[in-house]
Chains A and B, each alone.
Chain A
């Protein structure tokens, strides 16, 4: 499905950040580092974010009321900020899911895949 070493367009990476984060958080709360690893694993390494750039996305989503955060103690003794999706976030994710699927289906038909 993906060509090894393919670099995704920056705009595409930016546009997909919010739905990716919301989709992962829909499965359960998580924290920044784990989110990055999950996206990397799911995409087979094709989606590579500059790690730090995830955090403005998380803060923006929190500011929009789609997710919420709380600090908790981590296994390493340090504190870690966990994020969880809110009701409004689930509604937003549903809307984004429909939009992405609409685009995907249209392109799939055009490209005969």
Chain B
């Protein structure tokens, strides 16, 4: 017995396998397929014939996927929001580098310790940059709408930036351990901030695994970015509040930290709004 819905589901699964992370595009093609099937059925064709004819008209899955791959995609260096953030982060990194070089030059801090601080600071900041991109994406999705091109650009950018963050954090941790061996007589002491650095490292690995998943809801990448803001905030500034161990400096108040985390929680609500909501409201 011919089951039209089952055959359409099989077709959809084949298309998704060919198209990768373009679920929205497959939705569009499926809509087209269904309309063509309905037209052929209204013209008197039996469901099975209508399905076969409609699929043939739509085109071979592999050829279609190949055509879509030719459509230019946006990446970390070509996506405008990523370009802007990269420019801002690049500028801040240069300022930090200048400050660190000055401190080393003036003999206030050793090159080893300065390199550790620089690597960890930039490594952690990359997670914040990913978070900033996620916030932009959540807002843009509600204000302008969202599509597969932006989803792919967001995932590609998050992947490449997270790799950089992971590398820098790892280098920073290793440099810190070498410094600790020379000055404290041990590589690792499970200090609060040292342990938090491991948590940031682990978080980067989790992010890489999650954003590499194809066909995931685009909002997942955005929420991961927000979660990264919380993780790094707690791991970077939280230990300063503990006032113990090697990195017990600061006297930072809890309020800004809690406030920042609360804002991330509110931003999660944007993920629940339908895409293009503000555009539709303006058009009413």
Contact = CB atoms under 8 A, between A and B. Distances in A.
B32 A70 contact: no
Contacts of A81: 27-28, 31
Given A50-B58, A50-B59, A60 B71 contact: yes
Nearest to A68: B145
A9 B181 CA distance: 73
A32 B59 contact: no
Interface stretch (B62-70, B115-123, B214-222, B249-257): B62-70
Nearest to B68: A56
B140 interface: no
A33 B36 contact: yes
Contact of A51 (B57, B67, B70): B57
A70 B142 CA distance: 12
Given A50-B58, A51-B57, A70-B279, A78 B68 contact: no
Given A59-B71, A60-B72, A63-B149, A52 B35 contact: no
Contact of A52 (B34, B64, B71, B147): B64
Interface residues of A, number: 23
Contact of A53 (B59, B145, B275): B59
Interface string A43-74: 00000001111011001101100001111001
A81 B147 CA distance: 11
Given A59-B68, A60-B72, A63-B71, A52 B29 contact: yes
Nearest to B280: A70
Interface in B52-91: 57-59, 63-64, 67-68, 70-72
B32 A53 contact: no
Contacts of B59: 50-53
Given A51-B57, A55-B28, A70 B67 contact: no
B16 to A, nearest CB: 14
B28 to A, nearest CB: 5
Given A59-B71, A60-B72, A70-B276, A51 B147 contact: no
12 contacts: A33-B35, A51-B36, A51-B58, A56-B68, A56-B71, A59-B68, A60-B71, A62-B147, A62-B149, A68-B145, A70-B279, A76-B34
Given A33-B36, A52-B29, 7 more contacts: A33-B31, A51-B32, A53-B64, A55-B68, A59-B25, A76-B38, A81-B27
